[in-house]
Amino acid sequence: KQEVTQIPAALSVPEGENLVLNCSFTDSAIYNLQWFRQDPGKGLTSLLLIQSSQREQTSGRLNASLDKSSGRSTLYIAASQPGDSATYLCAVPPGAGSYQLTFGKGTKLSVIP
């Protein structure tokens, strides 16, 4: 059974700092990996999706990398801002055509002004 782990569970950084969020998964036979953002009381918003054939994806100040062989993904946030404060979750489908995602429990990020 696929298990997804995100460490740390919470992270607090000063504004302007570059930071890395980690995601690890136990079964490397993944089809893709998504990073989501969740604001308090809100639904999840997909930030980046990395296909299994890709090493990384970038969107603005966000860069996500994927290393299938080691079962790891990282989300790099450059020049963090207070508006980046949220919970970040990663998720993987077990395989091609799979009907569900396995989610990590998330890292709660606080960016202090």
Decide whether 10 or 96 has the Cβ nearer to another protein. 96
Nearer to another protein, 71 or 106 (CB): 106
Least separation in angstroms between residue 93's CB and another protein is 4
Please enumerate in sequence order all residues whose Cβ is within 8 A of that of 6, keeping only pairs 6 or more positions apart, or say none: 21, 22, 23, 24, 88, 89, 90, 104, 105, 106, 107
Position of tokens 């989610």?
103
Nearest residue (CB) to another protein, 13 versus 31: 31
Query: In sequence order, which residues have a C-beta less than 8 Å from that of residue 107 and are 6 or more positions away?
Result: 6, 7, 8, 9, 10, 11, 21, 22, 87, 88, 89
Judged by CB under 8 A, the stretch of 16-24, 60-68, 76-84, 97-105 that binds another protein is 97-105
Residue closer to another protein, measured from CB, 34 or 80: 34
The answer to whether residue 42 forms part of the interface with another protein (CB under 8 A) is yes
Minimum CB distance to another protein, residue 107 (Å): 12
Residue 93: cis peptide before it, omega within 30 degrees of 0? no
CB 40 within 8 A of CB 46: no
Residue linked to tokens 């639904």: 43
Asked if residue 31 binds another protein (CB under 8 A), the reply is yes
Contacts with another protein, residue ranges (CB under 8 A): 31-32, 34, 36, 41-46, 49, 51, 89, 91, 93-101, 103-106
